[in-house]
Amino acid sequence: MRKAMPALLLSATCALSACSEEPVLSDAPPSETSAAASSAASGDAAEHDAALEGVRARAAVKLMPPALNYEDARAKLEAGVGGLFIPSWADPELLSDGPRGVNALREEMGRDFEVSIDFEGGRVQRFSEILGDYPSPRAMAEGHSPEEVEALATEIGQSLRAHGVTVDFAPVLDVDGGDLEVVGDRAFSTDPQAAGEYGAAFARGLQAAGVKAVFKHFPGHGRASGDTHLGEAVTPPLEELYGHEFVPFHTAIPQAPEAALMMGHLVVPGLGDEPASLNPRAYQLAREELGFEGTIYTDDLGGMASISENFSVPEAVAAALTAGADMPLWSTDDDINAVIDAAADVVAQQEGD
């Protein structure tokens, strides 16, 4: 029926207008009114398209997708993203001094962009064969003073920066509660105050080398019910966090005010049922309770079951931006244009409010 419709419409039109088999064409030029209307319509369409592209550009710069290799990194940068995350399975050449490294990409693209990595020391130090091998945060704190840890972090930062990395998702400010392998020796201490002091020292060291430190995982993973990589993890009730999980953040942020913050995927009783990374109340808590004014990244929105079991990456990115994230992060190889489209819808809504 859909294909036959144009013929039926033509037949009906001819019958009503008594048209002949040969259409009669007019030699008269279009009126000034019709020409002006056509020009105005074209102008409006071009303006609308330009506005949409502007929104997409402002959305893309908020995103940090993974870079798997040179071609992947370049394509995502050409799409306009503001940063690249280098996961452990990426091509090591991205960290090289050669033509397929991120340093070369900066020159080719003609603009700056963030390059991030997880490098805490110990069991979470990506590409240690290239970037160096360092002790775990727990070993750092047990064997060194905060000043010595700061110097060690400066050494780490110098290595990262030399290989093109500008953002380190470290240090961990979680307080080790003793029951979670996912935290363990990634935490500097079982004592909240010590965790904050050593975390601040590590952050200052990175920043001295020109690398942005990122405090994680707010609101605190140390006493959670499980591992957010594997599924939902719930913290103790909100009122219990003030005197324990929040202490390292309160301690470290004033001592390293240039550091950023990572929002974890933890569910906090008293803040609602959503993971913190998608929860507006969690971002409000960080801004108001901690007085934090810097950049807030999300934890991985693609490779962790606490999010991926319920949301696609475009959905999770849109939810995180709506909640208050400055830069959503994911590690999975999703369609970058689909994610930008989802982010652009949020940006358009926010700019229209």
In a domain, residue 46? The reply is no
Give the Cα-Cα-Cα angle 343, 345, 349 (nearest 5 degrees). Answer: 115
**Residue 222 DSSP label:** T
Domain with 194 in it: what CATH number? 3.20.20.300
For 66-128, what is the HEC assignment? ECCCHHHHHHHHHCCCCEEECCCCCCHHHHCCCCCCHHHHHHHHCCCCEEEECEEECCEECCH
Q: What is the pLDDT of residues 323-335, one digit of tens each?
A: 999 999 999 999 9
Tokens (6 digits) for 87? 């996961």
Segment (H or E) for 154: helix 146-162
In a domain, residue 175? The reply is yes
Flag the least confident range among 35-39, 243-247, 314-318, 320-324: 35-39
Residue 19: is its pLDDT beyond 50? Answer: no
Predicted local distance difference test score (pLDDT) of residue 13: 37
In a domain, residue 249? The reply is yes
Predicted local distance difference test score (pLDDT) of residue 317: 99
Predicted local distance difference test score (pLDDT) of residue 28: 56
In a domain, residue 227? The reply is yes
In a domain, residue 180? The reply is yes
In a domain, residue 77? The reply is no
If you average pLDDT over every residue of the chain, what do you get?
91
Q: What is the pLDDT of residues 137-194, one digit of tens each?
A: 999 999 999 999 999 999 999 999 999 999 999 999 999 999 899 999 999 999 999 9
Q: What is the pLDDT of residues 85-106, one digit of tens each?
A: 999 999 999 999 999 999 999 9
In a domain, residue 51? The reply is no
Predicted local distance difference test score (pLDDT) of residue 226: 97
What's the rounded Cα separation, in Å, for the pair 182 and 269? 21
Catalytically annotated residues: 229, 299
Predicted local distance difference test score (pLDDT) of residue 51: 79
What's the rounded Cα separation, in Å, for the pair 89 and 299? 17
Candidates 199, 202, 180; CA nearest to 191 is: 199
Residue 24: is its pLDDT beyond 60? Answer: no
Predicted local distance difference test score (pLDDT) of residue 22: 46
Buried b (16+ CB within 10 A) or exposed e, 210-246: ebbbbbbbbbbbbbbebbbeeebbebbebeebeebbb
Q: What is the pLDDT of residues 251-294, one digit of tens each?
A: 999 999 999 999 999 999 999 999 999 999 999 999 999 999 99
Q: In the structure, what pLDDT confidence band is assigned to residue 33 with cuts at 50, 70 and 90?
A: low
Domain span at 327: 136-352
Residue type, 268: V
What's the rounded Cα separation, in Å, for the pair 224 and 281? 18
Predicted local distance difference test score (pLDDT) of residue 32: 64
What's the rounded Cα separation, in Å, for the pair 351 and 353? 6
User: What total number of domains does the chain contain?
Assistant: 1
pLDDT: which is higher, 37 or 230 = 230
In a domain, residue 280? The reply is yes
Tokens (6 digits) for 149? 């840890």
